[in-house]
Amino acid sequence: AQRVTQPEKLLSVFKGAPVELKCNYSYSGSPELFWYVQYSRQRLQLLLRHISRESIKGFTADLNKGETSFHLKKPFAQEEDSAMYYCALSTIYGQNFVFGPGTRLSVLP
Amino acid sequence: EAGVAQSPRYKIIEKRQSVAFWCNPISGHATLYWYQQILGQGPKLLIQFQNNGVVDDSQLPKDRFSAERLKGVDSTLKIQPAKLEDSAVYLCASSQLAVKNIQYFGAGTRLSVL
């Protein structure tokens, strides 16, 4: 069965510092990986997905199949990045979605 | 573009009572999802519809939970009877058929079972 782990419940960094949110997964096939974000009082929304290989709001994530990881990175954190971040996985057919437990990112001034 | 609509926003019931949640997806979105999010956890997929057919309901507790999506548009999720452990936020999401993995979420329904 698929599983997504996010080892940090809370991550605090200072504004301008680099940030890395960790995500590891277990899945026997070829997964599709996503990062979803929930800002305060807003709906859960897609941040980025690995097949797009794009940078959104300065965030990037690289799928490392050897380490079964999909860590989210940003070189310079901003206060508006403070939010709850969820890593998620699905099959290539868009089924069997599994979300990780989430990491709360707090960017301090 | 209007977003995913859910109602009610909040619901408080006593255990063993029944409750129903409603979801109206974004127009034209063929895929609809229901998730349960318990406090402090990530969303857990309960059921996924493609049009009005069920794609995945492997984690739906079928002895008490049911869901339907008549006419392939809006959907209802029902719990009967409710247990204390059903207290959670119930999220509905939808996605287009062609780009099905980009899910758009509703605001959720917060259920408290007393």
**Residue written as token pair 């349960």:** B36
Q: How open is the CA angle A50-A53-A57, to the nearest 5 degrees?
A: 100
Q: What is the pLDDT of residue A74?
A: 96
Bridge partners, residue B68, by sequence = B76
Residue of B98 and A29 predicted with greater confidence = A29
Residue among B28, B39, B32 nearest B92 (CA): B32
- Is residue B103 within 8 angstroms of chain A, CB to CB? yes
Contact B106 A43 (CB under 8 A): yes
Smallest CA–CA separation between B19 and chain A, in Å? Answer: 23
Average pLDDT, chain B: 93
Chain A, chain B: beta-carbon pairs less than 8 Å apart: 48
Chain A positions touching B48 (Cβ under 8 A) are 95, 97
Q: What is the pLDDT of residue A55?
A: 82
Cβ–Cβ under 8 Å, residues B25 and B97: no
pLDDT tens string B58-81? 999 999 999 999 888 999 999 999
Q: Which distant-in-sequence residues (6+ apart) come within 8 Å of A52 by Cβ?
A: none
Q: Where are the alpha helices (DSSP H) in chain A?
A: none
Q: Cα separation of A41 and B62, whole Å?
A: 32
- Is residue B6 within 8 angstroms of chain A, CB to CB? no
Cβ–Cβ under 8 Å, residues A58 and A47: no
Chain A positions touching B31 (Cβ under 8 A) are 94
Cβ–Cβ under 8 Å, residues B46 and B68: no
Confidence of residue A50 (pLDDT cuts 50, 70, 90): confident
